[in-house]
Amino acid sequence: MELIWDGIREAARLWWAGDAQIIEITLRTLAISSAATALALVVGIPLGAVLALRRFWGRGLLVASVNTGMGMPPVVIGLLVALVLWRSGPLGGLDQIYTPTAMVIAQLLLSLPMVVGFSLASIQSINPRLIGQMWAMGANRWQVLWLLIRETRLGLLAAVMAGFGGAISEVGASLQVGGNLAGETRVLTTAMVLETGRGNFEVAIALGVVLVVLAFAVNLILTAVQQRRFIT
């Protein structure tokens, strides 16, 4: 019990003192996970829309793959990305293993299925007659997509939250492809693993508190946006 209080006190102390290392790790965590989520949205929402609105051969298989991907363990994705990016792997020549870029790729692959899945579900729930009307009024496909995004913002913001939550909280893939390098690829979760391994439980708890507060703050903002009432 004492250890837990010590940890929480340590967290407060580190923040109060503006501990340079914790701030740096926190900012890096935010940057990597936001980049991964943003890319997942850019690719995932159109993909979700296509899967929701088009009927083509292999669609069922793709939807099933997306649903499987939503529950994909991060270590599997980490191993896959590592195998490709290692020097001995097919893209080893890019020298991207153990870089933030590698972590963004891994987290992107992790959150993409969530974004696609949530967009698919929310776009599919729209009355198809509305979409028919949009086409009839001469909208091009990007205009239709934009209107769909506006109509389904509740579901899409849920997609953002799920994607970001998955990206920021995973540790297995980040360790494998990032290598937990101090000052380069160390993020909150991998730093927690290290500090736990070193027996610095207070610091590990402090990092955990930061991670939870950060995740909460981001979701609070997104929820505020999501629940804001639009005057139509």
Partner 1 sequence: MRGGPVRHGSLLLCVSAFAVLLVLAALLTSCASEINEDELILATTTSLNDSGLLDDLAPIFESETGVSVKIISVGTGAALRMGAEGDADVLLTHAPDAERALVENGDVSSRTLVAYNDFVIVGPPDDPAGIAGMRDVAAALRQIAVHGASGAAGAAAFASRGDDSGTHKKEIALWDAAGLAPSFETDDWYEEVGQGMSATLTVANQRGAYTLTDRGTYLALSTDIAELVPLVEGDARLLNFYSVMEVDSGKGRINSEAAAAFRDFLLRGDIQAMIGDYLRAEYGRSLFIPAGGETESAVAERARAE
State the residues that interact with partner 1 by CB under 8 A.
54-58, 86-88, 90-95, 97-98, 179-182, 184, 194, 196-199, 201
Report the nearest approach of partner 1 to the CB of residue 74 (Å): 17
Distance CA 226, CA 134 (A): 24
Alpha helices in 2-127 (DSSP H): 2-16, 20-53, 59-70, 74-85, 100-124
Task: Give the tokens for residue 34.
Answer: 């936001």
Which CB, 86 or 214, lies closer to partner 1?
86
| Contact between 226 and 154 (Cβ < 8 Å) | yes
CB of residue 198 to partner 1, shortest distance in Å: 5
**Is the CB of 71 or the CB of 199 nearer to partner 1?**
199
**CB of 177 vs partner 1, minimal distance in Å:** 11
Name the nearest CA neighbour of 85 among 165, 185, 164, 157: 185
In whole angstroms, give the CA distance from residue 232 to residue 224: 18
User: 132: which residues sit within 8 A by CB, 6+ positions away?
Assistant: none
> For residues 94 and 209, which CB has a smaller minimum distance to partner 1 in the complex?
94
Cα–Cα dist 124/227, whole Å: 21
Q: How far is the CB of 139 from partner 1 (least distance, A)?
A: 17
Q: How far is the CB of 42 from partner 1 (least distance, A)?
A: 16
Provide the H-helix boundaries in 137-229. 141-151, 153-169, 172-178, 188-197, 201-227
In the bound state with partner 1, the residue whose beta carbon lies nearer, of 194 and 214, is 194
